[in-house]
Amino acid sequence: MASVALTASVNLAFRSLPISNPRLSSKQSPPLNLHRSNALRHLRSSSSYTHTLASRLPLLKLKSPNRNLNFTIKASAAAAPAPAPAQQDPAPAPVPWQGAAMKPLLASIATGVILWFVPVPEGVSRNAWQLLSIFLATIVGIITQPLPLGAVALMGLGACVLTKTLTFAAAFSAFGDPIPWLIALAFFFARGFIKTGLGNRIAYQFVALFGSSSLGLGYSLVFSEALLAPAIPSVSARAGGIFLPLVKSLCVACGSNVGDGTEHKLGSWLMLTCFQTSVISSSMFLTAMAANPLSANLTFNTIQQTIGWTDWARAAIVPGIISLIVVPLVLYIIYPPSVKSSPDAPKLAKERLEKMGPMTKNEIIMAGTLLLTVGLWIFGGMLNIDAVTAAILGLSVLLITGVVTWKECLGESVAWDTLTWFAALIAMAGYLNKYGLISWFSQTVVKFVGGLGLQWQASFGILVLLYFYSHYFFASGAAHIGAMFTAFLSVASALGTPPLLGAMVLAFLSNLMGGLTHYGIGSAPVFYGANYVPLAKWWGYGFIISVVNIIIWLGVGGVWWKFIGLW
């Protein structure tokens, strides 16, 4: 309550007093004048008015300075607001669980535990079997993703060290492998492409030439990559250093972005198409993939026949070109982009190019650095400079000139995540081979197929399928070739398969099988890391395309090889 001292007169204005005087306007109430001599009379003269005041206004004590005149009235809420009753704060919302998805995590752990306690087959060491159980548990975790891929792979390495299956140095040995670093460097190059605007400029050029349809745009990229394949012997370098930045820029330029629901507009189909065709172009030339010369070398050591550059290209050119045409079309049917035709796109792309104006200084530096890096990828063999060294040199130029900053490189979380999980899988798969598990598997397959008593065509078909789909256990084409190529070629030849035919088919498939997973070949982590395609779809469509490729290469290819006298 408030205490007010009344002098000769007191003038209190009360607003918004409806029903206090029915003759007054409801919008405005006149002031109520109270004099010291008759204040009490005014308050007592009308019981209805007093009742109104008493019921509507907060209490005030009025006291006369000359004599004690104490009474209580209600003051307007505007004059002295009553304290609002204390309100209880709402209960805080529960913090959402930010840890692992428990069901996928338990499925992954259960896979490893069950296999761990399965009796070890004869001829397999205990360490090899334990590593296989951890490897398969990690693969299940990568597929179901209870945590991000890098975290799952790191936990797999931790399990290897904890169980003494691998030493710490062995578990983390693949972090010194050049391929994971080349893939990470590709993401840093992509950052420079996008940041400088060079990627958009090149993308708009492509759209201006081929962008009236999504299919035409895809084919332009597919055959551009195939033309570069014989000159750049690293599929990781081609995919990551050249085509990933370009494809990402094209997707963004066409309004297809990650995370906003527009991935299917163009990006999902284009990323998967460029990846699947990169394994085809790698199989078409001896110099299109780093492990191809290894296949040629093992062929000579096993059957004493030489595979030259021309021999390889002549045998692969027909099935290769057919695959390059068919695979994008198949994906276009089963995994179509939502935007198939854009007749106005070339015109809009030309307008965008005009608005961009001439190349900026950073664009020129980026273009020059790319040309330098690609030149070293092509001619580095003569200078004894490998692909990852050339990429580091290129990134150094970008860092020195400020085109890309180290802080931006650190911010490329996908690059570091990919480096982690890919290196982890390479290490585990590599030690499966070193521990003799792959050799045991090859010998088991050889005995099984050899004991069936089939014609060489059927026996070779079984060998081909087993060789191809065993790639789920490999994170490197070179590791697969080194572990299984010789054994399978020897058995195929012993069962009556024409030796050179068997060698070349296995060599071609050693590239094509890379399309099965997101870790099977150097270009896989690059395109998968762009995050346009979910992992389940990546594996599912990878299997479908593998069937398409096998039919083309063994069917159409078989006819072509008969025509050129390969068998």
pLDDT bracket for residue 180 (50, 70, 90): confident
Half-sphere exposure of 204 (CA within 13 A, CB side): 16
- Provide mean pLDDT across the span 105-132: 93
Structure tokens at 277: 């065709």
Instruction: Tell me the pLDDT of the chain averaged across its residues.
Output: 81
Please tell me the predicted confidence (pLDDT) of residue 86.
59
pLDDT bracket for residue 461 (50, 70, 90): very high
DSSP category for residue 136: H
Asked if the model's pLDDT at residue 185 lies above 50, the reply is: yes
Asked if the model's pLDDT at residue 262 lies above 70, the reply is: yes
Compute φ and ψ for 25, nearest 5 degrees.
-65, 145
User: pTM of the full predicted structure?
Assistant: 0.67
| Tally of CB atoms within 10 A around 382 | 7
| Tally of CB atoms within 10 A around 245 | 24
| Tally of CB atoms within 10 A around 46 | 12
Using DSSP, state whether 529 is helix, strand or coil.
Answer: coil
With tokens 């400020």, the residue in question is: 402
DSSP category for residue 213: B
User: Is the separation of the CB atoms in 188 and 395 below 8 Å?
Assistant: yes
Please tell me the predicted confidence (pLDDT) of residue 82.
57
Asked if the model's pLDDT at residue 106 lies above 90, the reply is: yes
- Provide mean pLDDT across the span 336-354: 82
Query: What region does 46 belong to: left with phi over 0, alpha with psi -120 to 50, or beta?
Result: beta
pLDDT tens-place string over residues 393-446: 999 999 999 999 999 999 988 889 888 988 898 888 889 888 988 788 878 887
Rounded Cα distance between 243 and 369, Å, is 15
DSSP string spanning 141-153? HHHH-SS-HHHHH
User: Is the separation of the CB atoms in 134 and 165 below 8 Å?
Assistant: yes
With tokens 């150097």, the residue in question is: 522
Residue 449 burial by Cβ neighbours in a 10 Å radius (0-12, 13-18, 19+): buried
pLDDT tens-place string over residues 355-373: 889 999 999 999 999 889 8
Rounded Cα distance between 511 and 502, Å, is 15
Q: Where are the domains of the chain?
A: 2-74, 102-171, 430-563
Please tell me the predicted confidence (pLDDT) of residue 364.
94
Asked if the model's pLDDT at residue 541 lies above 90, the reply is: yes
Compute φ and ψ for 321, nearest 5 degrees.
-65, -40
Rounded Cα distance between 144 and 20, Å, is 73
User: Is the separation of the CB atoms in 146 and 100 below 8 Å?
Assistant: yes
- Provide mean pLDDT across the span 280-306: 87
pLDDT bracket for residue 565 (50, 70, 90): confident
User: Is the separation of the CB atoms in 290 and 480 below 8 Å?
Assistant: no
Beta strand 9-12 pairing with 32-35: antiparallel
Structure tokens at 544: 């479908």
- Provide mean pLDDT across the span 494-509: 92
CA distances from 58 to 43, 50, 53, 55 (A): 15, 13, 9, 9
Compute φ and ψ for 189, nearest 5 degrees.
-65, -40
Asked if the model's pLDDT at residue 45 lies above 80, the reply is: no
Sign of CA dihedral 129, 134, 137, 143: negative
Please tell me the predicted confidence (pLDDT) of residue 375.
86
User: Is the separation of the CB atoms in 7 and 36 below 8 Å?
Assistant: yes
pLDDT bracket for residue 391 (50, 70, 90): confident
| Tally of CB atoms within 10 A around 99 | 8
- Provide mean pLDDT across the span 14-18: 40
Give percent of the chain with pLDDT exceeding 70.
84
Asked if the model's pLDDT at residue 29 lies above 50, the reply is: no
